[in-house]
Structure 1
Amino acid sequence: MTKDWQDPSIVGRNKEPGHVPLVPYGDRQTALVGDRRACAYFRLLNGQWKFSFAPNPASSPTDFFLTNYDDTSWDAIEVPGNWQVQGYGRPIYTNVQYPFPIDDLPRVPEDDNETGCYRCEFTVPQSWDGRQIFLLFEGVDSAFHLWVNGREVGYSQGSRLPAEFNVTQHVQPGANMLAVKVYRWSDGSYLEDQDHWRLSGIYRDVYLYAAPHVSVRDYWVRTELDDDYCHATLRVRAKIGNFCPQRIEGYSLEATALDSQGIAVWSETLTADVAVEGKGELTLELVRDVPNPKKWSAEEPNLYLLLLVLKDASGQVIQVERCKFGFRRVELHSGQLLVNGMPVSIKGVNRHDHHPDRGKAVTVESMIQDIRLMKQFNINAVRTSHYPNDPRWLDLCDEYGLYVFDEANIESHGVWDRLTKDPEWEHAFMERGVRMVERDKNHPSVIVWSLGNESGYGPNHVTLATWIHQRDPSRLVHYHPAGNAPQVDILAPMYPTVDRIIEMAQDETETRPVIMCEYAHSMGNSTGNLKEYWEAVRTYKRLQGGFIWDWVDQGIRQMTADGEEWYAYGGDFGDEPNDGNFCINGLVFPDRTVQPALWDYKAILQPVTVEPLDLEKGVLRVVNGYHFSDLSGLDIIWEVTADAQVLECGRLPTLTTPAGAEETVTVPFAKPQATPGTEYWLGLSFRLSKPTLWADRGHEVAWAQFKLPIRVPAVSPLPVADMPVLSLEESEATYVVDGGGLRLVFAKAEGTVSSFVYEGTELLARGPMLNLWRAPTDNDANRSEGLWRGAGLDRLEQHVASVVASQPRPQVVRIAVQATLEAPDLGSRCVCDYAYTIYGSGDLLIEMCVVPVGDLPHLPRIGLQMTVPAGLEHCTWYGRGPHETYRDRKNGARVGVYSGTVDDQYVPYITPQENGNKTDVRWLGLSNADGLGLLAVGMPLLNASCHHYTTQDLAEARHTHELTRRKDITLNLDLAQSGLGSASCGPGTLPKYLVPAEKVRWSVRLRPFSRDSLSPVELSKQVLEEM
């Protein structure tokens, strides 16, 4: 006989039909408060359960479900929780490939199939006698059998939806024992081949509730807005079940709706009579017109509270159900997705359930942290990739305001369309889609149903899509692999190029919106050229945004023996097969620390934009990009700065600009008195004027910065004649330059500076060398790294042809170097001419001309790399910041003066790689605790970074804890560095953001400074006489 967990025709036994979450409050007041734990007929069973782990079902205890079974030797385990993160078995991460052999599909391994046996004692109150008692598991991975008091109750599979059982005949007042056997793999696992950690166990809430014998078993709250999107009709369809053998009459169901202030929406009671045959069900509908209710949207998530009150024939309240709902309408019109009549942009992320310590057992606190961060970073939508999330997440999306694409737990990536084309699997497809819809149908945040992910497209999808459209025509249906099939309402490309989405938007044969279900794969240091995607979205009306892949790095927190924290990915637990670090794709780290890419996304998504009309007079156009809200909730703060020094600031009058409209404003600043070498900036900040659920008052929603067109006087060159005289001494190996507190040693053989001492302090441990290499990013590894290594860019060596020193003036020494940079045994190389000019002022001017020779690919970077001694730990720069930026990911960073330690500049990507770059750098300074340091000035602007790790360190380590912090500092001063793109799974870096292998000239000026000298700001503005 085929086992339940090996048979795709069996998706459960004795399970209740899918329905909305139910909590049978006994009175109206308790229901108003809404704390289910205070409900007399609800018991949460979370906590410490008894647990026995076995490597397979055959070796698990056979009679553990008996009430008299001796479990004293068993361990205790936390429920909800995954056993692999509690010390049992092994976490497995795979992407496309199944984590078990699939030769015998639909069967799964018998021997290598971790099995967990659970036992939990619970109490049934005496007051529950005479009621129907239900036991509900909100999530168990992947399949389980259930016993209560030694009797088998049922079976379930489908890891991401509730499994509910009527246990009335199995329980007794007082002490009871439930037993559960959970199987890691089941035939259902073939439909759960998502790109995430494969973790097992009872990982969501478990609870009991006791309903009256006549009770509300399901209900659907639907809101219909008129064609003016003003007035509404509320329809409540309720299913009443009668568990008694006889017909009941004289019961009633009342519906009351309250607004956010607790005020009734209508004065008289909305009531329907209830009469149900014995053991039967009744579906009834309550209808009410509601004039001009507040509408629900992600921007203005206005919620109402519905109370459904069931009374018996004597008028006594026997059950109260509560439901938060919102008035809103979703539709397609003129090729666009509309919410309440307005086209909306989907500013979204894909989100897996993930906690760095608890795996899939995500806490409410973690969910709130996620949703607050999303809202703070201007995200308005989430795709529940790739399965229905914990129902509390949808409650939060309703409350905080996020649009949800609710996705069925269907992915057969490793066998693609094999299952959707097999009639044997139709029931499993339908079970997963139908139960999702029935559970989540009352959530206003859910605007789109998704048929799943990456499972090909075939008859089983068509059947499910057809059912969803018939069951719920108020929402849209999405599914990427369906392409332009008629069963889907949205075209959902995955990782398209910008050109591709524009092509789709211009297709006049299509009348559906284009929403990228996944784009901008954010693996490691990534997420480049978002700006171009959103320029297209704002240009073409049928382009309505998309969901970045993805929200959080799915790393599992580990500790070294020394107590150093690190995050594990595929293979780190000895799991085979695995897909390495492909689960590390987030905009936030596993602990929800924000990554630099998220700042860029926030700026690109910001709902207010500012355009200059007449900067000299401070005249600007403010564009309200909100879909529903005006700008009255934002304070507008402005400031004028000279470089980074604030000259003037103020607050503009509050704007009431309607959604989608624009307004001209004038910033009343006085024209600055220009000083030589200074840049003048006008900055605006749009901040919340009141606290919200998701942010405090003063939180910045949007910003703008403009360089003011002020004519700045030229800087007069420093007179060379006024500088200290320099001495030049030559030996066989070196040139030595002395004077003015400076001593510079130049190594002839290496063709660079070997020592740069100022006021007795060494400023260079290794002199500047041309550098074309970077530690490959995850995106580089998929595209460019092979080209770069093939050209030898990772092992270039400098060969010096000549070094000649001269002293054109007593205060100036010039050293000219001719060299080549080439890889051993390869023809690719660069011819390099350097000119090092040392001035008595202490300045070291490095001028470079680099000519690539041969067939070189585009370059990782082109610049100078040097080593700075330990002690120069304080880093200050004038450029974009404060976070890391790159040429295709710098929209979220203002130009300003920023500072921190060298350690602060390191971005701890879970797989070490290129990081910490600063763009548009005017100058950067490294200094010690005494204020003495080295200043680098770009000529033109620089890319710059500094680390306590070498490029090789970053390239070779696979985890952060494998890096050993060096005392010395690696300093990179680049003319250019290639962008990031998203090529780990998607398009490569746009050509305009690559560094071509072509002839370039540029200069960098190094200058020592001390606390007694001019400041770095002043020193950076100095100009040297040309020699």
Structure 2
Amino acid sequence: MTEDQDQIPDWENTYVYGRNKEPYHCTLIPYKEALTQARPIAPYFRMLNGRWKFHWVKRPADRPHEFYMPEYDVSEWDEIEVPSVWQLKGYGIPIYTNIKYPYSVKKRRIPNIDHDYNPVGSYRTTFKLPREFKDHKIFLHFGGVKSAFYVWVNGKEVGYSQGSMNPAEFDITDFINSKLNTLAVEVYRWSDGSYLEDQDMWRFSGIFRDVFLYITPQVHIRDYFARCEFDKDYEDATLKMRTEIFNYGGDKITDYRLEISLKDADGHHVGTEPLINEKFDIDLLSKATFEFQAKVKRPFKWSAETPYLYDLIFTLKNPQEEIIEKVKCKYGFKQVEIGQDDGLYINGKSIIFKGVNRHDHDPDEGRCVPEERMLQDILICKRNNINAIRTSHYPNDPRFLELCDQYGIYVLDENNLESHGLRRKLPASDPKWTGACVDRMEGMVERDKNHPCIFMWSLGNEAGQGDNFREMKNAALKIDNTRPIHYEGDYKLRVSDVFSTMYSTPKQVKEAAEYKKTRSSLLSRVKPKQYKGKPRILCEYAHAMGNSVGDLQAYMDIFEKYPNCVGGFIWDYIDQGLRKSEKGKEFWAYGGDFGDEPNDKNFCCNGILLPDRKPNPSLFEVKKVYQNIEVSAEDLLKGMVQIHNKYRFIPLDFVNLTWELTANGKVVQNGELGVIAVESGAGKKLKIPYSIPDAQPKTEYHLKITAKLNKDTSWASEGHIVAWDQFQLPLDPPEVTPIDISRTPILKLQELTNIYRIKGRNFEIGIGKKSGLIESYSYNEKELISKPLTPNFWRAPTDNDRGVSAFVSLIRRFITKTSWKKASQKRKIKEQNIEQINPQIIRASYKFKVRNGKKPLQTTYTFYGTGDIIVENEFIPKKDMIRFGMQMAVPQDLNNVQWFGKGPHETMHDRKTGAAVGIYSGNVEELIHPYVSPQENGNRTDIRWIKITDVNNSGWYIGDYGETLLYSSLWPYSMEDLENAKHIHELPRRDFNTVNIDYRQKGVGGDLPVIANVHEKFKLKKKKKYYYCFRMRPYNAEEDTDAIFREKLPEV
């Protein structure tokens, strides 16, 4: 540094990112005896988490300058929990922004920070040392502090650190005393390091990971790196170890011994005991690095499917054979390679990474994620066929990686580097940033290098290009050359070992799969020779913001067909909402809800899980598309199917197969197939022993085959459903005989001032003369319609529908195609005709002039003496439609819903692969879905019939009558309520329920962030004729729904 730089505060100096910090090393705690606990215990370790004294100010000038002195009185200070983020403990506000830097970061005066708004948190605590700490080296460990901090012990400055997602350790041996010790930490919310931490996330600060002390002997195993290399058959392995040993003492040591042992999961020694036994000497105050290797016969291999872990135990002994120290590591035998087919291989098998991006986020604790939440995240992954996580966009807590090792999750470990809002300027090739960038990369790789779950390192995210990325890669490879290096921002593919992109469409992914010229970014294209030898991976895809993740199957079809396309990571796993209450109502807060400016509203909520980890509907789609057992139909009339095991390492001996055959949703045959022996990657034909039923009129027969765990596992209980497939039997049912209309009651048609009235035996229907709509239906003197049955071309915009207009209000009306919103409201009757066809049938026909219609909307109602109404709609749009359907409201007490269609969860036009056809039920509250930002929700697809009833099982029957199947949803509020609400607690509960009866909605899309980008087959296209028809009638408890469904009314 120059003399001028000495005058710059550390937290504005790019050349200062640490002072007196210990070199990075792997995660380890030494013991006198190796222990079995996941977390270390006393006396060799002392956790300092807990209640600390805390003082917060808005700007550095106001901080208490000498608070670190033991005699400084902090008795009147507040207390704060460590670890935590202070914004969620009442100090300052959380800020959510995606690309834009918070205003304290001065983009025009890089790397300056606003001195008038850079909050400082001053922390104080005290501790006593156990007797066992005497005569040992004592280290102080911070797992994560954001964004910069100073440390004092007993009034003396120990050091300084930046790089908030990596650990910082300090040797405090010479600072402590045998009595009460005072630890003081001064944390700055913003620093020059904040320029490298512009991730799409909440901006929190504080001591948010564990703080602890640990001791080491004077001769200490400071670091080690274990890796392996298999033979060509992937049977036997060579275990290679690099060990770094420090001699902190004032004398040279000789004839010390290092023993390395390997134990299997049952505690049995593997190979010789010890596996390695070497003597060594080290000069005083020096360190030495040793390389060892040993042959291991037929080790169990680690993978996400088989997460087998050994205990690797390092033992130091002095010349008297006394144990000085033991260190234990969980180790998995795993080798990562890029294959000749450009696939990514683990232990000789090509892998499809069925992944998600995961932020460290908790709805109550923010970045400070409790261990039970980490475990919950992993269990949800395992139970939903997710096999990989990208730590977007920073190293996660090491405990999370330990759990990934244990349960089996592949991890793409990402460096804490993103400069999205300034990525054209920094870090680029600017030498001012080289040291900080390399330090961050080294910190991650050194800390995490022994975790078998990590299959690839990432240099960062959305941080531009330049020489600094080459420097980071070189630094990483000096530490670990066994894993490939990833970086999506390397658009010319000069640094990254893989060809990674964000939000490529299936078409673009297929171009690379077939080695064609394709895009590496929105503005860059690459030729096949540039990416030959580099596996194709999507570090972000299927943007899951709100009601999204359309046509995920299109991606998986490509991944499974082309070996060089190795999968991807859905953006993202968790809606990053924060729990908040207003007037006693709880909701999920997002950008702007804390007065934070600038902000990007709800763009932080892109998860397949809600903030509390309840599923969003897209999770069910992910589980189905990601499943590793596939059943395909061979000859269903002979009961023949094909079982395909898509797992790469395990046979299907851990699941039992069951089957059921349904007739119109009701089970008529079922059975158990038990364990079907199918090796990994193989298939097997299988006969399902069902009897082909005699086809009945208007009856569908579905075969469903389900794979369930046949015993408890570490991640799910026996009976958990791993995979399923369903098929409709190709039977030819006989024609339905129409009912004899002459035996049904007669109808009377009356023309009144404002309505046409149709009266039957126990019902009365009103058609508005000006509206052309069914405005009322009274059955047994109970009104069944609260609002008229109205054509509908609109939906409450999804996040993808709103697109960038959600953030730029001036363009909202152009982006969201609001012309369809008023299409129904502004319709006009062009032609109408109502006539009595015969005593039992009346028909009303209307042609409506509708905005965006190439021809008029034709609506026909046919009324029968049975109380039935057949509703037909035909339309040719001039523009692509959002929805083609009808909407009405029914009384609030019609609250119970049953349907025969896909379910039980919400499905959409392009997101219904994960739902099976069946009969499902629930009340209206159970059918809606509380997306963080209210939007279209609760839809069910492929409906044959739906029943909406009260507590007496009386109400409406609505059935498909045009063989197009229906889509339907019900809400306890209006569509206007849904569109106007910004948070879930703002949605009222009305005295009616809204009912949507649709032909279709367009798909929800999700290939690109906040752009629907619906695939062609899921659009409602302009200039195409659309027709659908449904039957509606009052329903009472004595009736048989299936019998109604199979009825045929006489044609007019």
Contact in 1 for aligned 2:498/2:536 (Cα 8 Å): yes
5 Å-filtered alignment, 1:90-489, equals 90-100=93-103, 101-269=106-274, 270-334=276-340, 335-418=342-425, 419-489=427-497
User: 2:1017 is matched by which residue type in structure 1?
Assistant: K
Contact 2:456–2:486 (8 Å) recurs in 1: yes
CA contact (8 A) 1:715 1:1022 kept: yes
Task: Pick the aligned partner of 2:890 from 842, 862, 868.
Answer: 868
Give, in whole Å, the separation in 2 of the partners of 1:444 and 1:790.
49
Corresponding residue of 1:812: 841
Out of 1014-1023 and 146-155, give the one that drifted further.
1014-1023
Distance 1:955 1:788 in 2: 15
Give runs of aligned pairs for residues 457-856 of structure 1, distance below 5 A.
457-507=465-515, 509=529, 510-562=532-584, 564-782=585-803, 786-787=813-814, 792-796=819-823, 797-822=826-851, 831-852=856-877, 856=878
Q: Report the CA distance between 1:802 and its aligned residue.
A: 4.3
Counterpart-to-counterpart distance in 2, 1:780 and 1:41:
57
Partner of 2:1030: 1004
Bigger shift: residues 99-108 or 333-342 = 99-108
Q: Which whole-Å deviations, capped at 9, do the CAs of 1:22-74 have from their partners, x for residues lacking one?
A: 2111224xx2x225443411011111111001001111111110101111111
Match of 1:103, SS?
helix
Listed one character per residue, the Cα deviations across residues 227-251 of structure 1 (whole Å, up to 9, x for unaligned) are 1111011122211111111101232
CA contact (8 A) 2:446 2:479 kept: no
Is the partner of 1:264 in helix, strand or coil? coil
* Aligned-partner residue type, residue 954 of structure 1: L
C-alpha distance in structure 1 between counterparts of 2:294 and 2:1034, whole Å: 78
| Residues 912-957 of structure 1: per-residue CA shift (max 9 Å, x gap) | 0111111111111100001101011112211111101211111111
Q: Is the 8 A contact 1:80 1:204 kept in 2?
A: yes
* Partners of 2:853 and 2:875 within 8 A in 1: no
Shift of 1:986: 6.0
Aligned residue identity for 2:935: Q
Aligned to 2:913: 891
Match of 1:957 among 975, 981, 1002: 981
The more displaced of 649-658 and 342-351 is 649-658
TM-score, normalised with respect to structure 1 = 0.97
Give the letter for the 1:859 counterpart: M
Are residues 115 and 788 of structure 1, via their aligned partners in 2, closer, same or farther at CA, if it must alter by over 3 Å?
Answer: closer
| 2:51 maps to which of 9, 29, 48 | 48
Distance change >3 Å, CA 144–CA 950, structure 1 → 2: same
Cα 1:104–1:783 shift into 2, 3 Å: closer
Q: Give the AA of the match of 1:910.
A: V
- The whole-number CA distance in structure 1 between the counterparts of 2:454 and 2:39 is 23
Give deviations 1:366-388, integer Å, cap 9, x for gaps: 00000000011101111000000
Residue 23 of structure 2 aligns to a residue in which SS? coil
Deviations for 1:972-1001, whole angstroms, at most 9, x for unmatched residues?
111111001114346711121111133322
Tell me how far 1:789 sits from its aligned partner.
5.4
How far off is 1:786 after superposition? Answer: 4.3
Deviation of 1:467 (Å):
2.5
Q: Give the conservation status (yes or no) of the 8 Å contact 2:637–2:730.
A: yes
Residues 1:672 and 1:783: Cα distance change in structure 2 (over 3 Å): farther
- Residue 80 of structure 1 contacts residue 202 of structure 1 at CA under 8 Å; is this kept in 2? yes
Q: Which amino acid aligns with 1:962?
A: E
> What CA deviation, in whole Å up to 9, does each residue of 1:4-33 have, x standing for no partner?
1110000100000000112111224xx2x2
Counterpart residue number, 2:991? 967
Secondary structure, counterpart of 1:493 in structure 2? strand
Q: Check conservation: 1:347, 1:546, Cα contact below 8 A.
A: yes
How many angstroms does 1:313 deviate by? 2.5
Tell me: CA distance 1:848–1:127, structure 2 relative to 1, closer, same or farther (3 Å): closer
Counterpart-to-counterpart distance in 2, 1:616 and 1:1005: 32
The code of the aligned residue for 2:220 comes to S
Cα deviation 1:796-821 (Å, max 9, x = unaligned):
32222344321111111222223223
Preserved CA contact (<8 Å) 2:800 2:1011: no
Conserved 8 A contact 1:888-1:979: yes
Partner residue in 1 for 2:518: none
State the Cα distance separating 1:98 from its structure 2 match. Answer: 0.7
Greater shift in the superposed pair: 893-902 or 408-417: 408-417
Which amino acid in the other structure matches residue 609 of structure 1? Answer: E
Is the CA contact 2:1004–2:1012 (under 8 Å) kept in the aligned structure 1?
no
Contact residue 786 and residue 891 of structure 2 kept, 8 A: yes
Map of 2:67 onto structure 1: 64
Task: Tell me the CA shift for residue 828 of structure 1.
Answer: 6.3
**Separation in 1 of the partners of 2:832 and 2:1011?**
47
Confirm or deny: 8 A CA contact 1:551 1:585 kept in the other structure. yes
The verdict on how the C-alpha distance between 1:372 and 1:514 changes in structure 2, with shifts beyond 3 A counting, is: same
Is the 8 Å Cα contact of residues 787 and 857 (structure 1) preserved in structure 2?
no
Q: Is the 8 A contact 2:362 2:369 kept in 1?
A: yes
CA distance in 1, matches of 2:723, 2:172: 54
How far apart, in 2, do the equivalents of 1:973 and 1:276 lie?
80
Contact persistence 1:141–1:159 (CA under 8 A) = yes
Greater displacement, 214-223 / 33-42: 33-42
What is the alpha-carbon distance in structure 1 between the residues aligned to residue 376 and residue 674 of structure 2? Answer: 33
Partners of 1:52 and 1:774 in 2: CA distance: 49
CA distance in 2, matches of 1:201, 1:788: 40
Deviations 1:769-815 (A, max 9, x none): 11100011110112797457556211232222344321111111222
- Taking structure 1 as reference, are residues 280 and 493 closer, same or farther at Cα in structure 2, changes over 3 Å only? same
Equivalent residue for 1:931?
Answer: 953
Q: Is the 8 A contact 1:116 1:201 kept in 2?
A: yes
The Cα shift of 1:561 comes to 2.1
SS at match of 2:177: coil
CA distance in 2, matches of 1:783, 1:845: 41
What stretches of structure 2 of length at least 5 have no aligned partner? 1-6, 516-527, 806-811
Q: CA deviation at 1:830?
A: 6.0
Tell me if the contact between 2:797 and 2:816 (Cα under 8 Å) persists in the aligned partners.
no
Q: Secondary structure at the match of 1:439?
A: helix
- DSSP 3-state at the match of 1:721: helix
Residue identity in the other structure for 2:583? A
Instruction: Report the secondary structure of 2:892's partner residue.
Output: coil
Task: Please state how far the C-alpha of 1:1017 moved relative to its aligned partner.
Answer: 2.3
Distance across 2 between alignment mates of 1:311 and 1:63: 45
Distance in 1 separating the partners of 2:588 and 2:623: 26
